[in-house]
Structure formats: structure tokens, C-alpha cells
């Protein structure tokens, strides 16, 4: 699909032959600029109560007089922010869904100029609307045949809008990859499949890639990672991806993604209802792949490493048992009291592995705890970070990218919960504060570099009728890295 910016005001919108003209409006919109005929329809629709200028509302017009476009849709926004713009575009696209729209022109009657954020939001809304999962359902109705999307702006806006569209396209490709991988079921997205995806990504986007197998993982001494994988028939993989956008000597940002391709809970088995959703337990890994894809497309001057420990968490005769003690790559021993707290076990060894890159910063991303979902629901990711500057930058990136997170505490008092009589630490504490004790566990492996942790258990995947992956937090991570590159 092609995105472009056109220098055009309301008069040119009317005179552009296209399949659909989507006009974003709000309560301050001035219908006069729409010209005599469309302006009259606008006024009539308002008077008749068919067009309410409230967020989410749309009005669809088929071949209205005075316009060359075959369809006109008015979509109301709550305000002029990129966030409101995205919601209005999404509603407008839903109103023309199924229509034969190959060429779409988008104009805005919002007060104030359109900027980078609006263009980025447009691409995100369009990409979201046309995505169809087909990997294991090839019969799914194919996406609407949208070919070209033009965003209208005035002379002063054009440059920012072009930059926004380009960034939006890079992001959408990354979000799309993460979303697709998270949607794939566990038998179609094994650790070997993830490794193959990483290799494909490296080849297509000029990244370096290395995949370690069981032998190498054993040789390194990743005892915690090995404990999680030991009952699975799928071989574990440890994926290392490198994007080099700056000189070699510049310390990289390392992203570590939890790659549990299915989490049964192990011997501490999960209940049956909704267990299928644990195919999404590689959402952190998918977001690392998606972010590297977006970064490789946007080419910022920064070095980024992606680390993905990936395996299944299965019960069975060979499974690790509650009470077993294992030795992590760091040398610290861990008493595995609950085999369902497996994410932190594969992550802690990856966090130790990250030391070899002498990183400027390490961010791990994981569908780590149900407790985080209880705390923050499905809107914001949990952010754990002891460094105020890094935390502020991540929070800001989340707001800008419309992929928000919320800061959670890391007080030493929470660390008490991990005390064990039989090892340096237990892998779980009591139920209370479960998202925080999980973060405290990881923190014990991050003494050698600045570190942040994103618990994405609530945001990587949506339940309900529109059940499926979101591609989050690729927007947050990509925005953060691009901002950091300057």
C-alpha cells in the first residue's frame, strides 16, 4: 500500500477523483469550506441529527453532489490530538469497510495544524483496519483492497506529514510482524519457527543474527532457562539479533524478549479455561522482532541488540518440579517454587548474557504476570525502572506513540518476598504485589547496567469478540529508540 501527502485544501478534495474521501471533523468544524453542495448536505445532516459531532460518530454519503469522490465519510474526533485523529480515522474506515475503496483521500477540518503524530496515527489506523489473520485460516476474507492513501495538508504541514507517514510505515511493518507472530498458535510458532523468523528478518533487513541451540545453551550454563525447557519436545533457541546504526564503539541498547511459545504452567499447571491464550506468551519476543524490523526500516544512528530466549513450558516426566533448585548463568541459585513463574527464569539468564555487550541500557519485555493485568488492566504496560531519566523517556515515548505505560515501584522492601532457605532466591513470592516481586527477581540480574522492564501481560493481546494480538509495545519501543538516536 502506498501512502502519500498531497498539498490540497477542501476545494481540491472535492475535485479529486478517488474512491473515498474521509474528512475528520470535530465540534469546531466549519462546513462552509466544503463548498455549496457538500456544505448544504453537511448543514442538513447536522440539522436532521444524522451527523453528531461526537467522538466515534460517522456519516457515510454515497456519491453526494458537488464531489468527485464516489464516497464521502465524515468522522468525528473528540479533539485535534493524534490520538483522537487515529480513533476518528479508524471509525471512518469502518464506515467504508467492504466498499470498493482502492484510493482514499483523507482531509482534516480540525482546528490547528496536522503534524508528524497525525500522519503516524493515520498509517497505524489504516494498517490496523486492513490486517487479516490468515496463517491458519486461509479462507478468511481478504483485506479491503486499499491501494493508495493520500493525506491532504497545506504547504506548511507537508514536510512534517511526509516524515510522519514514513515513520508510520516503518512502525506499521514492525507492529504487523509482532501481531502476526503473537496470533499464530503454539504449534505454528515454535521456538524453531521464531528462530526462522529472526533469520528471515535478518536477511531481508540487513541485520546480523545468531541462533544458539540446546548444546550451546548448556555450555554457557543457563541453568534457569534449561529448567523451563526440559520437559518440552521442542528444542529451545536463544536468538541474538544485531542492528548497527552507529559506530561500533557506541554502547548498544539491548532488548530482551520473553519467548515462551506456549505456557501450560508446567507441573504447576494452569487451569483449562483460556489456557489457549498462553500461545501469546512470546509477545515480548515478538515485540523485539517487530521493533528491530521498524528500526531497520527507519535506520536511526543507534546500535540495538535483540536477545530472545525461547522455549515451551510443559509438564511431563522430565519436567522441573516445585522445590527444585537450579543455578543461573549468573551463578546465583534459584528455588523454583512455582513452575508457572517461568518467564523470569528464561529472562534472568538472558539478562546475564546481555552483560557481554556492555550495554548503555537493557530493556526486557515480557508477558510476565497476571498480577500486572490486575493492577493496570489492558490499557497501559507496567514499567519498572530505577533510573528516573530513562523512565521519563520511556513514559514519554509511550504517550507519543499512543502505546502508553505506567511506572511501578522497585523498593527494596519488595525484595524480601523472594527469600529462600534453600537457594539464593525463590522464583515467586506471595500473591500480593506479584508484578513487582517478578520485577524484583529480574532486578537481581541487572547490577551491571541501567535496566528497564516492561510487563506487557495486559496489552499484547485482546480477548473478547476481537480476540487477537495488538503488536504492542512495538510503537513505544521504536519511538523510544528513534528519540534516543536524536
Rounded Cα gap, residues 152 and 346, in angstroms = 48
Which three three-digit cell numbers place residue 454? 516492561
Size of the site for Zn ion (CB under 5 A): 4
Shortest distance, position 406 Cβ to Mn ion, whole Å: 22
Which of these ranges, 126-134, 138-146, 233-241, 259-267, lies near Zn ion under the rule CB under 5 A? 259-267
Shortest distance, position 235 Cβ to Zn ion, whole Å: 19
Residue number with CB closer to ligand BES (178 or 305)? 178
**137-166 in b/e burial notation, b at 16+ Cβ within 10 A?**
eeeeeeebebeebbbbbeeebbebbbebbb
Q: Is 407 a catalytic residue?
A: no
Shortest distance, position 380 Cβ to Zn ion, whole Å: 20
Catalytic annotation, pick one of 14, 86, 258, 344: 344
Q: Is 270 a catalytic residue?
A: yes
180 binds Zn ion (CB under 5 A): no
Q: H or E element: which one contains 49?
A: none
**What burial class does residue 214 get, using C-beta atoms within 10 Å of its C-beta: 0-12 exposed, 13-18 middle, 19+ buried?**
middle
Rounded Cα gap, residues 228 and 427, in angstroms = 12
107 binds, among ligand BES, Zn ion, Mn ion, none (CB under 5 to 8 A by kind): none
Q: How many CB atoms lie within 10 A of CB 377?
A: 10
Give the x/- contact pattern for Zn ion in 410-439, rule: CB under 5 A: ------------------------------
Positions touching ligand BES (CB under 6 A) are: 263, 281, 338, 340-343, 367-371, 373, 428, 434, 457
290 binds Zn ion (CB under 5 A): no
Residue number with CB closer to ligand BES (151 or 341)? 341
Strand, coil or helix: what is 229?
Answer: helix
**417-427 in b/e burial notation, b at 16+ Cβ within 10 A?**
bbeeeebbbbb
What count of Cα atoms within 13 Å lies in the side-chain half-sphere of residue 364? 35
Q: Give me Rg for the CA atoms of the chain.
A: 24
160 binds, among Zn ion, ligand BES, Mn ion, none (CB under 5 to 8 A by kind): none
Catalytic annotation, pick one of 270, 299, 448, 484: 270
428 binds, among Zn ion, ligand BES, Mn ion, none (CB under 5 to 8 A by kind): ligand BES
Interacting residue ranges for Zn ion, rule: CB under 5 A: 260, 263, 281, 343
Q: Give catalytic residue positions.
A: 270, 344
Amino acid at each position: 500500500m502506498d501512502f502519500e501527502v498531497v498539498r490540497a485544501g477542501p476545494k481540491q478534495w472535492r475535485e479529486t477523483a478517488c474512491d473515498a474521501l474521509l474528512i475528520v471533523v470535530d465540534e469546531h468544524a466549519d462546513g462552509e469550506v466544503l463548498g455549496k453542495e457538500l456544505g448544504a448536505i453537511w448543514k442538513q445532516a447536522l440539522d436532521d441529527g444524522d451527523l453528531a459531532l461526537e467522538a466515534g460518530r460517522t456519516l457515510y454519503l454515497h456519491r453526494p453532489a458537488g464531489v468527485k469522490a464516489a464516497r464521502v465519510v465524515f468522522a468525528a474526533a473528540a479533539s485535534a490530538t493524534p490520538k483522537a485523529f487515529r480513533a476518528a480515522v479508524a471509525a471512518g474506515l469502518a464506515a467504508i469497510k467492504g466498499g470498493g475503496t482502492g484510493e482514499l483521500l483523507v482531509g482534516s477540518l480540525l482546528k490547528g495544524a496536522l503534524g508528524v503524530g497525525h500522519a503516524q496515527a493515520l498509517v497505524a489506523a489504516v494498517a490496523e483496519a486492513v490486517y487479516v489473520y490468515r496463517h491458519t485460516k486461509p479462507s478468511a476474507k481478504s483485506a479491503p483492497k486499499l491501494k493508495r492513501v493520500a493525506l491532504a495538508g497545506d504547504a506548511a504541514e507537508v514536510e512534517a506529514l511526509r516524515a510522519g507517514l514514513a515513520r508510520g510505515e516503518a512502525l506499521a511493518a514492525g507492529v504487523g510482524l509482532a501481531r502476526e507472530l503473537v496470533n499464530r498458535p503454539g504449534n505454528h510458532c515454535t521456538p524453531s519457527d521464531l528462530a526462522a523468523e529472526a533469520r528471515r528478518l535478518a536477511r531481508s533487513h540487513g541485520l546480523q543474527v545468531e541462533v544458539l541451540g540446546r548444546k550451546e545453551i548448556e555450555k554457557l550454563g543457563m541453568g534457569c532457562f534449561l529448567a523451563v525447557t526440559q520437559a518440552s519436545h521442542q528444542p529451545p533457541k536463544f536468538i541474538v539479533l544485531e542492528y548497527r546504526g552507529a559506530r561500533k564503539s557506541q554502547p548498544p541498547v539491548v532488548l530482551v524478549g520473553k519467548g515462551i511459545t506456549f505456557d501450560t504452567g508446567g507441573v504447576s499447571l494452569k487451569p483449562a479455561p483460556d489456557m489457549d491464550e498462553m500461545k501469546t506468551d512470546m509477545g515480548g519476543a515478538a515485540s523485539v522482532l517487530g521493533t528491530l524490523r521498524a528500526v531497520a526500516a527507519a535506520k536511526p544512528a543507534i546500535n540495538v541488540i535483540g536477545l530472545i530466549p525461547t522455549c515451551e513450558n510443559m509438564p511431563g516426566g522430565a519436567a522441573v518440579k516445585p522445590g527444585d533448585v537450579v543455578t543461573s548463568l549468573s551463578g546465583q541459585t534459584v528455588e523454583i517454587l512455582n513452575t508457572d513463574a517461568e518467564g523470569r527464569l528464561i529472562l534472568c539468564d538472558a539478562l546475564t548474557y546481555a552483560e557481554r555487550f556492555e550495554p548503555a541500557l537493557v530493556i526486557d519485555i515480557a508477558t510476565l504476570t497476571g498480577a500486572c493485568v490486575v493492577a493496570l488492566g489492558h490499557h497501559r504496560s507496567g514499567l519498572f525502572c530505577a533510573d528516573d531519566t530513562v523512565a521519563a523517556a520511556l513514559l514519554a515515548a509511550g504517550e507519543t506513540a499512543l502505546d502508553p505505560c505506567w511506572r511501578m515501584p522497585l523498593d527494596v522492601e519488595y525484595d524480601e518476598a523472594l527469600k529462600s532457605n534453600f537457594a539464593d532466591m525463590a522464583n515467586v513470592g506471595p500473591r500480593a504485589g506479584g508484578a513487582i516481586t517478578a520485577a524484583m527477581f529480574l532486578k537481581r540480574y541487572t547490577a551491571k547496567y541501567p535496566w528497564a522492564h516492561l510487563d506487557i501481560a495486559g496489552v499484547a493481546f485482546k480477548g473478547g469478540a476481537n480476540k487477537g494480538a495488538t503488536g504492542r509495545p512495538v510503537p513505544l519501543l521504536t519511538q523510544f529508540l528513534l528519540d534516543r538516536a536524536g
